[in-house]
């Protein structure tokens, strides 16, 4: 009988120890954080998301985006996340205080999305209409962001030794197609990378946005889009599709409300605001990031490499 | 006089009359558990088949994403959590509860009271899992790993659990004999840990939700503890029963077992945060979990040594006994599981393995190679005692074993190596991200082959189990051996 009592006590004790240690105490430490603001009480970060973006988060969770995409930037000493331009600083608990469910992610079959909204072209009023005109304006932001990691190495993926991304002797034609989708008038009419229109097209037909994306294992989310017969004029938000994915003439593909929420959510993801508790990489990043750049010193598109 | 002397580990070779009384009592106990345990097993088998098919879909769709992607309920991101939850709550938990209740009745030497309440609980549990599955498919997943079921399904599961387990725990009240055998420690622990764990996680995520990243911490704390303190504990407890029982020899050392149990409870419950390595958390949390993961080498070493020493000289019995073969495979996988867990948790290796398929390998080694294989073994032992028939075809058992063993081995290798390839590429900023995807794709295709093997294995087992259930087993007093026993010594308790 004594054995049973001590067994009970031990069973409860060990578990209580773990419960208190791993959930209760951390919750005291980081479970009640407030947004950060400057002295004047302005410049508050983070802020709650809009209703549409919040709904988009539910859709993000419900459709399992979380199993392939993380939303956390690890520090530069432990990973290459910052080198990959997934963020300028590591993520901190305060970045997530309004997130529910929090979708930090567990695996990366797809790239990190912690700053995907930040990496959108700066202005994107009519993205599909005038990609070429649009992106130069966006260059300060766009240049340092998305295509950065993708562009220089891609030719390597398609053709040559994956080990040497430098491999500058790429044939110019290939380089011209891929270097910086945001800036290039893509033959397929792909909108600037990470613009809302791009996200829609990417969700609808993931492997159509970039010819080098053939290895992407992202499923298409066609069920978030509707096929309409065009009567009168094309809807403003119809997807600009071409080739295999294009609807038959007289038809158009338009996002459902859910798709719009999901894209609104993606566009809202932005951890670029500095936090006091995190050593801002703004100063640290350029020195850290510049060494790798020269080797990749391929033509102008190399600039994204920073 | 070892402390195990009066533990019914071994069918005692006493006088015929006393032996008959023992036999009779044991038959009575088995009879009282027949309906609920068989219901547990039948439900678990049904979920296992569903989960296996889903696993094949999920595995195939990951490298061929355009296959069946046009319907919302067939999208990869919904099928994957359904597969996981079906395996965890449908297959794993139900087979674990079935085996645990049977073991508990045997070890407490008391009949199972109120089996009808347990049967009701089983129905509720099945309904809960079904509601959860439909919820996820319809797009109501919560987004927390291993807890994707919508909260209303969780409520049903919890009620069902209380109905089931209160009676299992109450068996302690009516137990005969003062000794508490090692298996009972693990089972009692699991019975009490699970509801606390489940309720705490549900409460902290849905009832009074914690803020921000703490949700992820609670989620991983839950997932890892579920793996160790629920599935792992029942798996180890079962192994502690089956191995000595089948070879007819007491456990090598009670002291080792004590050390193994308490260090297991203490250290493995502190793991989990290593899955968040370098994430937005205070570093101490992650370091504590990494340290705890490393310390799990102590229970692994003691439990492994104990089982090994018990088996010493009896390894050839694995040639004949299906139960022993599956159980020893599972017990050995426990060591592999923990070693892999340590290897992928260290900061130096996590740099390459975090966020890769390697963590999927880890979960499968734990849930399949370790836990599920032991459960298969226990079913090979228990089912004949409930239906009064013996397994019909030794060949099917052998096929089941080898398909499962090769299947899970291949899957683990593919995911570990693929994860490493993926992680090394991801860690090198000069390689584009898509190259890391390309680097793991061949291994994902290999994993689909493994999934096919496991599908074959499970359908074979389900067929065999179905035969038993419908009374089509062999009528015989001799258990089914994997290979014909050669002249020298038949093992009576296979």
Return the higher-pLDDT residue of B114 and B47: B47
Phi-psi region of B251 (alpha: psi -120 to 50; beta: other; left: phi over 0): beta
Taking the Cβ of residue B80 and every Cβ of chain A, the question of whether any pair is shorter than 8 Å is answered with yes
From CA B157, how far away is CA B148, in angstroms rounded? 13
From CA B141, how far away is CA A258, in angstroms rounded? 15
Cis? peptide before A101, omega within 30° of 0: yes
From CA B171, how far away is CA B175, in angstroms rounded? 6
From CA A260, how far away is CA A264, in angstroms rounded? 6
Contacts of B476 (CB under 8 A, 6+ apart): B390
Taking the Cβ of residue B74 and every Cβ of chain A, the question of whether any pair is shorter than 8 Å is answered with no
Q: In this complex, which of B141, B172, B272 lies closest to A62 when CB atoms are compared? A: B141
Q: Which of A130-134, B67-71, B256-260 has the highest mean pLDDT?
A: B256-260
| A211: nearest CA partner in chain B | B434
Return the higher-pLDDT residue of B410 and A242: B410
* DSSP reduced 3-state for A45: strand
* CA contacts within 13 A on the Cβ side of B327: 32
* DSSP reduced 3-state for B422: helix
Q: At what angle do helices B297-311 and B322-345 cross, to 10 degrees?
A: 160
Mean pLDDT of successive 10-residue segments in chain A (306 residues)?
80 95 94 89 88 95 94 91 91 93 93 92 51 38 39 38 40 39 53 89 87 80 92 85 84 94 95 86 42 38 37
Averaged pLDDT, B93-120: 93
Q: What is the largest CA-CA distance in chain A?
A: 84
What residues of A are in contact with residue B72 (Cβ under 8 Å)?
63, 223-224
HEC string for A115-154: CCCCCCCCCCCCCCCCHHHHHHHHHHHHHHCCHHHHHHHH
Taking the Cβ of residue B279 and every Cβ of chain A, the question of whether any pair is shorter than 8 Å is answered with yes
- Mean pLDDT over each residue of chain B, to the nearest integer: 91
**Cβ B84 vs Cβ B473: under 8 Å:** no
> In 3D, which of B77, B1, B433, B99 has the Cα closest to residue A149?
B433
Averaged pLDDT, B196-214: 94
DSSP string, A66-81: GGT----PPPTTT-ST
Q: Please judge whether B141 and A61 are an interchain contact, meaning their C-beta atoms are less than 8 angstroms apart.
A: yes
Taking the Cβ of residue A168 and every Cβ of chain B, the question of whether any pair is shorter than 8 Å is answered with no
pLDDT, position B486:
60
Return the higher-pLDDT residue of B13 and A212: A212
Phi, psi angles (nearest 5°) of residue A253: -110, 125
Note the ipTM here: 0.89
Q: Please judge whether B433 and A84 are an interchain contact, meaning their C-beta atoms are less than 8 angstroms apart.
A: yes
Token readout for B316 is: 């050839």
The beta-strand segments (E) located in A187-260 are 225-229, 251-255
Taking the Cβ of residue B387 and every Cβ of chain A, the question of whether any pair is shorter than 8 Å is answered with no
Contacts of B187 (CB under 8 A, 6+ apart): B100, B103, B104, B168, B233, B234, B237
Taking the Cβ of residue A211 and every Cβ of chain B, the question of whether any pair is shorter than 8 Å is answered with no
* DSSP reduced 3-state for B390: strand
Q: Please judge whether A18 and B221 are an interchain contact, meaning their C-beta atoms are less than 8 angstroms apart.
A: yes
Helices (H) and strands (E) in chain A, counts: 9, 2
**Neighbour tally for A144: CB within 10 Å:** 18
Taking the Cβ of residue B108 and every Cβ of chain A, the question of whether any pair is shorter than 8 Å is answered with no
Confidence bin at B17 (pLDDT 50/70/90): low
Return the higher-pLDDT residue of B231 and A178: B231
From CA A133, how far away is CA B28, in angstroms rounded? 84
Q: Please, which residues 56-75 of chain A have a Cβ atom closer than 8 Å to chain B?
A: 58-68, 70, 72, 74-75
Q: Please judge whether B212 and A93 are an interchain contact, meaning their C-beta atoms are less than 8 angstroms apart.
A: yes
pLDDT, position B18:
65
Phi, psi angles (nearest 5°) of residue B480: -80, 120
Query: Which of A271-285, B57-71, B140-154 has the least mean pLDDT?
Result: A271-285
Taking the Cβ of residue A10 and every Cβ of chain B, the question of whether any pair is shorter than 8 Å is answered with yes
From CA B50, how far away is CA B47, in angstroms rounded? 5
Any idea of the CA torsion for A86, A90, A96, A97, to the nearest 10 degrees? -150
Q: Please judge whether B282 and A219 are an interchain contact, meaning their C-beta atoms are less than 8 angstroms apart.
A: no
Return the higher-pLDDT residue of B7 and A20: A20
Taking the Cβ of residue B78 and every Cβ of chain A, the question of whether any pair is shorter than 8 Å is answered with yes
Q: Determine which of A2, A8, A13, A18 to mutate to test the interface with B (most B C-beta atoms within 10 Å).
A: A18
Token readout for A284 is: 């640290």
Nearest-CA distance A304 → chain B (Å): 13
Query: Which of A220-234, B72-86, B134-148 has the least mean pLDDT?
Result: A220-234
* CA contacts within 13 A on the Cβ side of B114: 14
Q: Please judge whether B62 and A217 are an interchain contact, meaning their C-beta atoms are less than 8 angstroms apart.
A: yes
CA angle B436, B442, B447 (to 5 degrees): 115
**Cβ B135 vs Cβ B153: under 8 Å:** yes
> In 3D, which of B200, B195, B231, B234 has the Cα closest to residue B217?
B200
């Amino acid at each position: 009988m004594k054995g049973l009592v001590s067994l009970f006590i031990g069973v409860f004790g060990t578990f209580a120890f773990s419960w208190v240690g791993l959930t209760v105490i951390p919750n005291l430490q980081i479970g009640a954080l407030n947004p950060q603001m400057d002295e004047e009480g302005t410049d508050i970060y983070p802020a709650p998301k809009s209703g549409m973006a919040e709904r988009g988060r539910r859709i993000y969770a419900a459709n399992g985006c979380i199993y392939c995409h993380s939303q956390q930037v690890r520090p530069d000493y432990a990973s290459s996340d910052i080198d990959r331009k997934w963020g300028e600083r590591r993520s901190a608990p305060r970045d997530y205080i309004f997130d529910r469910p929090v979708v930090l992610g567990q695996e990366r079959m797809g790239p990190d999305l912690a700053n995907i909204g930040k990496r959108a072209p700066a202005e994107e009023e009519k993205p599909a209409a005038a990609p070429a005109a649009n992106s130069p304006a966006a260059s300060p932001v766009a240049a340092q962001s998305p295509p950065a990691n993708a562009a220089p190495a891609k030719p390597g993926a398609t053709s040559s030794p994956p080990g040497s991304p430098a491999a500058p002797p790429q044939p110019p034609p290939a380089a011209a197609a891929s270097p910086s989708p945001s800036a290039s008038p893509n033959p397929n009419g792909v909108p600037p990378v990470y613009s809302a229109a791009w996200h829609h097209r990417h969700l609808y037909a993931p492997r159509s946005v970039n010819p080098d994306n053939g290895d992407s294992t992202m499923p298409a989310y066609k069920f978030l889009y509707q096929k309409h017969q065009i009567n009168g004029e094309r809807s403003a938000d119809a997807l600009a599709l071409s080739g295999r994915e294009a609807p038959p003439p007289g038809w158009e593909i338009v996002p459902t409300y859910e798709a719009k929420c999901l894209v609104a959510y993606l566009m809202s993801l932005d951890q670029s605001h500095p936090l006091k508790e995190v050593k801002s990489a703004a100063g640290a990043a350029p020195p850290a990031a510049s060494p790798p750049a020269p080797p990749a010193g391929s033509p102008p598109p190399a600039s994204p490499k920073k | 006089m070892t402390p195990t002397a009066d533990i019914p580990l071994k069918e005692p070779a006493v006088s015929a009359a006393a032996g008959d009384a023992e036999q009779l009592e044991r038959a009575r106990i088995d009879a009282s558990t027949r309906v609920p345990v068989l219901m547990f097993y039948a439900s678990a088998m049904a979920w296992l088949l569903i989960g296996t098919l889903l696993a094949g879909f999920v595995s195939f769709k990951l490298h061929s994403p355009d296959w069946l992607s046009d319907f919302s309920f067939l999208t990869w991101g919904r099928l994957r959590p359904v597969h996981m939850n079906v395996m965890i709550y449908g297959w794993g938990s139900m087979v674990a509860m079935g085996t645990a209740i049977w073991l508990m009745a045997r070890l407490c030497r008391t009949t199972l009271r109120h089996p009808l309440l347990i049967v009701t609980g089983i129905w509720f549990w099945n309904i809960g899992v079904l509601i959860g599955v439909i919820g996820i498919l319809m797009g109501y997943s919560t987004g927390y790993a291993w807890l994707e079921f919508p909260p209303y399904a969780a409520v049903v599961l919890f009620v069902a659990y209380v109905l089931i387990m209160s009676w299992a725990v109450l068996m302690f009240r009516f137990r005969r004999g003062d000794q508490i055998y090692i298996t009972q420690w693990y089972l009692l622990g699991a019975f009490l840990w699970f509801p606390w764990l489940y309720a705490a996680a549900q409460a902290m995520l849905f009832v009074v939700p914690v803020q921000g990243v703490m949700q992820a911490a609670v989620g991983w704390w839950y997932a890892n503890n579920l793996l160790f303190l629920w599935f792992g504990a029942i798996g180890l407890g079962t192994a502690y029963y089956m191995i000595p029982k089948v070879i007819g020899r007491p456990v090598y050392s009670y002291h080792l077992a004590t050390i193994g149990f308490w260090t297991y409870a203490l250290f493995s419950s502190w793991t989990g945060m290593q899955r968040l390595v370098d994430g937005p958390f205070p570093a101490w949390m992650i370091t504590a979990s990494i340290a705890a993961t490393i310390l799990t080498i102590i229970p692994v070493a003691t439990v492994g040594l104990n089982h090994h020493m018990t088996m010493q000289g009896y390894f050839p019995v694995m040639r004949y006994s299906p139960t022993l073969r599956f159980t020893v495979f599972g017990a050995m996988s426990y060591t592999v599981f923990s070693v892999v867990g340590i290897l992928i948790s260290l900061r130096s290796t996590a740099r390459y393995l975090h966020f890769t398929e390697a963590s999927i390998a880890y979960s499968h080694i734990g849930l399949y190679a370790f836990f599920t294989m032991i459960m298969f073994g226990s079913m090979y032992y228990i089912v004949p005692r409930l239906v009064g028939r013996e397994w019909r075809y030794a060949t099917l058992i052998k096929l089941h074993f080898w398909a499962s063993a090769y299947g899970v081995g291949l899957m683990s290798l593919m995911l570990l190596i693929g994860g490493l390839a993926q992680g090394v590429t991801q860690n090198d900023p000069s390689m584009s991200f898509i190259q890391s995807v390309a680097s793991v794709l061949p291994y994902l295709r290999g994993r689909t082959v493994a999934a096919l093997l496991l599908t074959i294995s499970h359908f074979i087992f389900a067929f065999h189990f179905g035969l038993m259930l419908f009374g089509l087993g062999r009528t015989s007093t001799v258990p089914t051996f994997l290979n014909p026993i050669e002249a020298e010594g038949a093992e009576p308790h296979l």
